[in-house]
A and B are shown apart, each in its own frame.
Chain A
Amino acid sequence: SQELEQSPQSLIVQEGKNLTINCTSSKTLYGLYWYKQKYGEGLIFLMMLQKGGEEKSHEKITAKLDEKKQQSSLHITASQPSHAGIYLCGADKGSQGNLIFGKGTKLSVKP
């Protein structure tokens, strides 16, 4: 079955620093989603990628899907305390139409 591996599991950065979170799939990705979760809250949709080589940006967050469609990266530029939380990648399972998720990356930003 398809699995999503996220790395790193956790990350502590100084405010203002850049950072990258990776999501690797064992199978070809049809749709790749990035979500953010704050403690005790639900998941907030960030971006969706479908095409190999696709790149999307929202404010200071950029997500890319590699050409082979088996890996995605999430890059945050000039991190701020508001970026802190858990970032999860999700992927379509194909014919079943359900989403599976990675275990998440916990990001802390030190002021």
Chain B
Amino acid sequence: NAGVTQTPKFQVLKTGQSMTLQCAQDMNHEYMSWYRQDPGMGLRLIHYSVGAGITDQGEVPNGYNVSRSTTEDFPLRLLSAAPSQTSVYFCASSTGTSGLVRGELFFGEGSRLTVL
């Protein structure tokens, strides 16, 4: 059982380049999300999705785009990379239902992005 798979694990970009971070889960989870982790800032939510065709913004969505065409996949697109987007990105999924309690999040291994 693969769980949540993120690719690539490492990436170096130049300012202005675009790229897509891939995230796939094989647990049939409806909820998927992207976080970024920065020193001293903790984990911050970028975008999330509660099901195929449904996405919404989190705390820090600027400069990022997402789509959810299938239950399994939730790619994160950087439209025009900036040095401020240097970070470690985590994809997470959950089987939790709507309401007040999301339930356990299953995390990928992370994608380490450097923007020069």
Query: A: which residues have CB within 8 A of B?
Result: 30-31, 33, 35, 40-45, 48, 50, 88, 90, 92, 94-95, 97-104
Contact = CB atoms under 8 A, between A and B. Distances in A.
Contacts of A90: 43, 105
**Which of B31, B40, B42, B45 gathers most chain A CB within 10 Å?**
B42
A31 B58 CA distance: 19
Contacts of B35: 101
Contact of A97 (B4, B43, B98, B107): B98
B42 A92 contact: no
Given A98-B33, A100-B45, A103-B42, A92 B109 contact: no
A20 B99 CA distance: 31
A101 B43 contact: yes
A44 B32 CA distance: 16
A31 B42 contact: no
Contacts of B104: 33, 45, 48
**Which of A33, A43, A50 gathers most chain B CB within 10 Å?**
A43
A30 B43 contact: no
B110 interface: yes
A43 B40 CA distance: 17
Nearest to B105: A99
B12 interface: no
A88 B92 CA distance: 15
Contact of B42 (A30, A94, A104): A104
B107 A42 contact: yes
B28 to A, nearest CB: 18
A42 B110 contact: yes
Nearest to A44: B107
Nearest to B90: A42
